[in-house]
Structure 1
Amino acid sequence: MAQSSTMEDYYMILGVEQTAALRLIISSYRRLALELHPDRNPKHDATEAFQRTLKLGRAYETLKDESKRRAYNLIYPSIIRRRSFPRNTQTPHQPPTSASRSETLCEAAQIVAIQKSKQERSARWHIKSNSFGSSIFELQRLIRRLEQEIKNLDTILAAEAAVEAQKNSWGAWLLSPIYKKAEDSEEEKERKDRARQERRIEKDMKKRRLDSNKADLKTQEILLRTAKEEVDAAIRSDDEKIRVIQARIRAREDHERREREKRERERREKEMQERERQERERTAKIWKQQQEQWLKREQEAKEASRKQQEKRAVEQKRKETRKFREQHAHPNLSGGSTGQAYTPACHHDGWWPKLYDEGVPEMSSCDTADSTT
């Protein structure tokens, strides 16, 4: 499998579980392939459909092959963890290095090779075990047959010995005058002796064959036990190798997971520090704006107070000037009993006070000035 596509979730692409049977994978692939076919869905985006078809093909090629699927299942947990690990678009996690992916793929290939070797060894052992089993079964059958044949010969020999003993017993000798039996001829005696001798020879031969078969059976059982121990030792060795490789894979994945978590913590800490800095800057800016507004309001209040004071001073001055003018412009209002009308001595026709009202500096009254002339 290519490194660029190994990290894809092939089970999710095919829409099946990790424990799905091969027939379910095939049916799911056919259904999805038909859905992506341009004749079935002409409205689909051509580029997107092509990319999905490529992924679907890679997933199907991997999961339909038993050895490839077994190798993929070894790294599938890490694919699930990477897919479920939260990501951030602003500070994306650093992807695993190509060296790490190469190591994972190499170790997965080693595990597949070991498992394949185990399967081949199991197949050889099955054949060898059947061969040993057949040999042992045949030897056991021969041994049982020889033992039965020897037992039969022993029975015959025992019966003949009993008959011979009966003939030579005291009872037979005492009863011989009463119950006379015909004696065997010399030929019959020789035949019986020859038959007994042949049965003894046959028994000896069968016993030797029995001992030989028992020795062969013991040898076969020892060879079978030795071969079984060798196979078991090889299986334990392979299992240990697989455990060591899987431990390395888990250790590397744990290291990568800790690194991702560390980067995530650092990213969160940086984000928190950045938020705190922005909050401090915002608080300082607000405080500065409030200070500026307070100073501005204070200055505006002072300026308004000053203008009000100036306005009151001008008004007060105007009142005082008007009062002064009124007092000096009509000095004889109280002496109206003389019967003479008041004639102002000013020759300015009253425009002098108007100039004063417009802000001309205070000067003496026109009447006063004229009276001095």
Structure 2
Amino acid sequence: MAPAPITEDYYMVLGVEHTATPELVTQSYRQLALKLHPDRNTKHDATEAFQLLLNAYETLKDEGKRRKYDFIYPTIIRCSPSHISTQPSAFTEAAQIATLGRSQRKRIIRWSKEKNVFDSSIFELHKDVRRLEQEIKDLDSIVAAAVAVEAHKNSWGAWLLSLIYKKVEDTEEEQERKHRERQERKIEKDFKERRLGLKNADLKKEENLLRNEQEKVDAANLVDAEKMQALQNIIRTREQRKRQEMERIERERKAWIWKQQQQRRGRERAERPSLESISARLHKEQDERMRAKRERDLRIQKQAQE
């Protein structure tokens, strides 16, 4: 018989990141096991909750099982809003929200540190690029100045002056030195341009890495936000149903009280005529007794007179 497909987010059950190390997985399991063990957890589904925690731990601590689980993990993430509500109540929505919040805060703190490293590296690369560009610009200025001097020497003005003043020709050694300096500047410029190209490539690579990592963090935060929103919707729906149930019970209680009052009033109205008849009979009996007493008193009085 094939095993049942896994639908639980084991990373969320253990409250760890997808990139958590085996040591962190074990640490988180031990902390949760102390809280959720059936000997300490008095909820009716404590055994089921602890079994879920144990399944998550046994899967993520084993490299082979974790690799297989990670292969299907994206489908579990996409189905997360539906399976969140079916997890045991020991992992209450509030606890899951707290776990997601902690995970998000840890991710933000870690990313802040990593981003600082990226920003520092990019800043240094920008500084190197600006320095190399300035050095290449300086070399170009030197070359331009040398070219201007040579152009001036070969200009018509210089030629006319040479007719008046004797033109000073550069010695062979001076020409060789200038040639060597030109070659050295060319080599230096080529070297700096290659370095500039490498620095620009490194800068682009770092900026792409920064952008990609930022997108990953944003995507993970978005997933957590959607999960927390789904959990909050579940809480609001349950609270609304609870409130509606309480209102229904209160309405039924008031209706029952009103019905009892109406029944009592009906009985009182039904009993009122009989009470009046009893009262009339008592009055009649009392009148008869008084009349009989008067008659008796009259007879006694007549007998006394005789």
What interval of TM-score do these two structures reach, taking the shorter chain for normalisation?
0.5 to 0.7
Matches within 5 A, 1:22-101: none
| Residue equivalent to 2:272 | 286
1:192 aligned onto 2:201: no
Q: CA deviation at 1:112?
A: 1.2
Q: CA deviation at 1:153?
A: 0.3
Q: Quote the Cα distance in structure 2 between the aligned partners of 1:287 and 1:176.
A: 152
SS in 2 for 1:183: coil
The one-letter amino acid of 1:274's match is Q
2:96 to 110, 115, 126: 110
Deviations 1:248-299 (A, max 9, x none): 0111111111111111111121122122222322333333211221244356
| Residue equivalent to 1:254 | 240
| Residue equivalent to 1:123 | 109
Matches within 5 A, 1:1-373: 103=89, 106-298=92-284
Q: CA deviation at 1:172?
A: 1.1
Q: CA deviation at 1:304?
A: 7.5
Q: Quote the Cα distance in structure 1 between the aligned partners of 2:119 and 2:271.
A: 92
Q: Quote the Cα distance in structure 2 between the aligned partners of 1:118 and 1:225.
A: 19
Q: CA deviation at 1:215?
A: 1.9
The one-letter amino acid of 2:213's match is A
Higher RCO (CA < 8 A, seq sep 6+) = 2
The one-letter amino acid of 2:172's match is E
SS in 2 for 1:180: coil
SS in 2 for 1:182: coil
SS in 1 for 2:170: coil
SS in 2 for 1:177: helix
SS in 1 for 2:173: helix
SS in 2 for 1:260: helix
Q: CA deviation at 1:160?
A: 0.1
SS in 2 for 1:122: helix
SS in 1 for 2:89: helix
Compare CA radii of gyration and give the structure with the larger one: 1
| Residue equivalent to 1:91 | none
Q: CA deviation at 1:227?
A: 1.4
- Contact between 1:104 and 1:249, CA under 8 Å: does it hold in 2? no
Deviations 1:99-157 (A, max 9, x none): xxx73862111111111111111122112111110111011000010011011101100
| TM-score for the superposition, normalised by structure 2 | 0.63
Q: Quote the Cα distance in structure 2 between the aligned partners of 1:279 and 1:297.
A: 27
Q: Quote the Cα distance in structure 2 between the aligned partners of 1:130 and 1:112.
A: 27
Q: Quote the Cα distance in structure 2 between the aligned partners of 1:190 and 1:271.
A: 119
- Contact between 1:139 and 1:213, CA under 8 Å: does it hold in 2? yes
The one-letter amino acid of 1:196's match is R
The one-letter amino acid of 2:177's match is R
Q: Quote the Cα distance in structure 1 between the aligned partners of 2:276 and 2:102.
A: 78
SS in 2 for 1:184: coil
Structure 2 gap segments, 5+ residues each: 1-87
Q: Quote the Cα distance in structure 2 between the aligned partners of 1:274 and 1:126.
A: 68
| Residue equivalent to 2:62 | none
More helix per residue: 2
| TM-score for the superposition, normalised by structure 1 | 0.52
Deviations 1:37-66 (A, max 9, x none): xxxxxxxxxxxxxxxxxxxxxxxxxxxxxx
Q: CA deviation at 1:168?
A: 1.2
Q: Quote the Cα distance in structure 2 between the aligned partners of 1:294 and 1:220.
A: 109
Q: Quote the Cα distance in structure 1 between the aligned partners of 2:151 and 2:128.
A: 34
Structure 1 gap segments, 5+ residues each: 1-101, 319-353, 359-373
Q: CA deviation at 1:158?
A: 0.3
Q: Quote the Cα distance in structure 2 between the aligned partners of 1:275 and 1:105.
A: 47
Deviations 1:54-102 (A, max 9, x none): xxxxxxxxxxxxxxxxxxxxxxxxxxxxxxxxxxxxxxxxxxxxxxxx7
